[in-house]
Amino acid sequence: MIIMVPISAVIAPVLISFLHSTFTALWIGGMLALAFSVLPAIRKILGKSKETKALNALIKERLSLLTYISMIGLIITGLLMARKAGLSGLYTGFLSFGTEYSTLLSIKHILYFVMISLSVFRSLIVDRVKKFTPKQNQTLNMLTLMLNVLTGLAVLFLSAYTSVLASLPTP
């Protein structure tokens, strides 16, 4: 049996979910492209020159802006999505472990805060530490980026998992 729902009842949740997915794609997709495509290509073409360092700094600056916009967007859309999940009974509260859904969402939120910390550390702190050699700085930047990529992939997995859980019929 198909239930007809007026478009006005679904447009807000669809837009919120769309924006949440878009912010996720910008942030995690940007990190994946940077780590596996952009940075290796720059190193291959320009080597370890002053131009490489300048180009990396410019790319980092521009991607940081997208990252910060995505962080804010994800917080806003995530809160709106959590409110809806709470009304359905799936979600029992922020960092709550009362249900399987809430537990997975709480782990996802913890990983999200790890991602924020890694991003802030990489964009605002690593390059300002004067005691690092350029090689140490580059290594720490790449290590932080790769840790954030892995954390982001874990967040995507948990998002898929909770999405499937939310779509299952309730017992």
Q: At a CB cut-off of 8 Å and minimum separation 6, what does 162 contact?
A: 101, 104, 105, 108
User: Of 18-22, 41-45, 98-102, which one has max mean pLDDT?
Assistant: 18-22
Helix (H, G, I), strand (E, B) or coil at 128: helix
Mean pLDDT of 71-98: 82
User: Alpha-carbon Rg of the chain, whole angstroms?
Assistant: 19
Q: Is the pLDDT of residue 71 over 70?
A: yes
CA distance 35 to 47: 16
pLDDT digits (tens, 9 = 90+) for 51-70: 888 888 899 889 989 999 99
Residue 70 C-beta-side C-alpha neighbours within 13 Å: 22
Residue carrying structure tokens 């995690």 = 28
pTM of the model: 0.83
Minimum mean pLDDT among 12-21, 113-122, 159-168: which range? 159-168
Alpha-carbon distances, residue 164 vs 28, 81, 167 (angstroms):
21, 15, 5
CA distance 81 to 170: 18
Alpha-carbon distances, residue 29 vs 23, 61, 101, 132, 151 (angstroms):
9, 16, 25, 29, 13
pLDDT digits (tens, 9 = 90+) for 87-135: 666 777 778 888 888 899 999 999 999 999 999 998 888 878 878 887 8
Which DSSP letter does residue 9 get? H
Task: Tell me if 144 sits within 8 A of 126, measured CB to CB.
Answer: yes
Task: Tell me if 80 sits within 8 A of 19, measured CB to CB.
Answer: no
CA distance 79 to 125: 28
Give alpha helix (H) positions in the chain. Answer: 7-33, 39-46, 50-88, 100-120, 134-167
